[in-house]
Structure 1
Amino acid sequence: MHNFDQRRDRFDLFDRMDSPAVNLCFPLDLPDYRPWCKEQGLPPFHVLLCAVLRAILGIENFRYRVFEGEVIAIDRLMPSFTVVNQNGDLNFALFDWSDDLREFVARSVRAREQACAMTALNNAYADLSARRCKDQVFITCIPWLDFTAIQHPTATLGAPDIPSLAWGRFKDAPNGRLQLPLSVQAHHGFVDGFHIHQLALRIGAELAGMMQPRA
């Protein structure tokens, strides 16, 4: 929490505002990891989800939360993301973290299948304690659209302490790269544009690390 203590005055400034959220949407440049996923038999969305969440865990500012009026730093994440069910309606997939990529993907795929098969809204969140809810990051994927802006919903306008991320349609880029629109929303008392820049770099580094041959 040493880093937060250095920016507590920034937190106090933005937290007094009606909406302290910062939301940036930009084209994210990444190594094209899709051929590697095909070789490994891994679905690209779930691999990218793992890379994004690992990157978030690696940047302290994205781990700050407000709980019972105090700022805390979480040390784990509960992966969750949106899916489309059989009726074309949104639902939520939720699962337990794993440090192992293949196990992470397997759990993520199972959670997606379960949520997609449900017609009612997945209410697993209702069973979480208030503290456990703070371990989340809200993730959505809109693979049909190359969007340029997004408004994330927030339960309380003045409390956007749980980051919300969304990405859209992949498109090929030169030199073995790919691009996709990425939206990052977070509490501006915790996160500045510089930290979002760090996150973008770290997501690419996480993917590159996954593709490195193992000795």
Structure 2
Amino acid sequence: MENFARRRDRFDLFDGMDSPAVNLSFPLELPDPRPWCKANGLPPFHVLLCAILRAVLKVENFRYRIHDGEVFMIDRLIPAFTVINENNDLNFAMFDWSDDLRTFVARGSAAREAASNMTALNAHYSTLSPREAKHQVHVTCIPWLAFTSIQHPVATLACPDIPSIAWGKFRDGAPGELLLPFSVQAHHGFVDGFHIHQLAQQIAAELAAIIAEG
């Protein structure tokens, strides 16, 4: 929390506003994981999700949260993301974290299958305590649209401390690269545009490392 202490005045400034959220949408340039995923029998969505969440854990500013009026820093994540069920309604998939890529993908795929087969909203969310819920990052994929902006909902307008991440329809970039619309929303008391830039760079680095490790 030493780093946060240095920006406490920035936090106080933005936290006193009606909405302290910062939201940026931009084209994210990444190494194209699709050939590697195909060769290894892994779904690109879950590999990208793993790279994104690993990156979140490595950029400290995305780990700050607020609970009972106090700022603390999480040391783990509860992976969760949106899915579409058989009625084309939104639902939430949630699973236990694993540092092993293939275990992460297997758990994420099973959670996606389970949530997509539920007609009611996934009730597992209601079992989390308010503090446990802070160990999430809200993740959604909108693969049909190359969006240029997005507004994420927040439970409390004045407390958007849980980051929200979204990406959309991808397209080919330079040889060996992928471009996709990407959005990051976070509490401006914790995160500036520079930290979103750091996150984007770290996601690309995590994905490159996954591909290189084989």
- Into which bin does the TM-score normalised by the smaller protein fall? over 0.9
Residue 185 (structure 1) aligns with: 185
Mapped partners of 1:12, 1:180: distance in 2: 34
Moved over 2 A (4+): none
Please tell me the residue identity of whatever aligns with 2:137. V
Encode CA deviations 1:105-142: one digit per residue, 9 max, x unaligned. 00000000000000011121111111100100000000
**Are 2:208 and 1:208 aligned?**
yes
Mapped partners of 1:34, 1:189: distance in 2: 36
Where in structure 1 are there 5+ consecutive unaligned residues? none
Please tell me the residue identity of whatever aligns with 1:159. C
Deviation at 1:213, TM superposition (A): 3.9
Residue 23 (structure 2) aligns with: 23
Please tell me the residue identity of whatever aligns with 1:2. E
Residue 92 (structure 1) aligns with: 92
Mapped partners of 1:161, 1:173: distance in 2: 33
Residue 175 (structure 2) aligns with: 175
Where in structure 2 are there 5+ consecutive unaligned residues? none
Residue 139 (structure 2) aligns with: 139
Q: Residue 162 of structure 2: SS of its match in structure 1? A: coil
Mapped partners of 1:50, 1:23: distance in 2: 22
Q: How does 1:122-161 map to 2 (within 5 A)?
A: 122-161=122-161
Residue 162 (structure 2) aligns with: 162
Q: How does 1:25-104 map to 2 (within 5 A)?
A: 25-104=25-104
Q: Residue 87 of structure 1: SS of its match in structure 2? A: coil
More displaced stretch, 172-181 vs 9-18: 172-181
Deviation at 1:64, TM superposition (A): 0.0
Mapped partners of 2:213, 2:187: distance in 1: 37
**Are 2:199 and 1:199 aligned?**
yes
Q: Report the CA distance shift for 1:90/1:206 in structure 2 as closer, same or farther (over 3 A).
A: same
TM-score norm. by structure 1 comes to 0.98
Mapped partners of 1:213, 1:94: distance in 2: 26
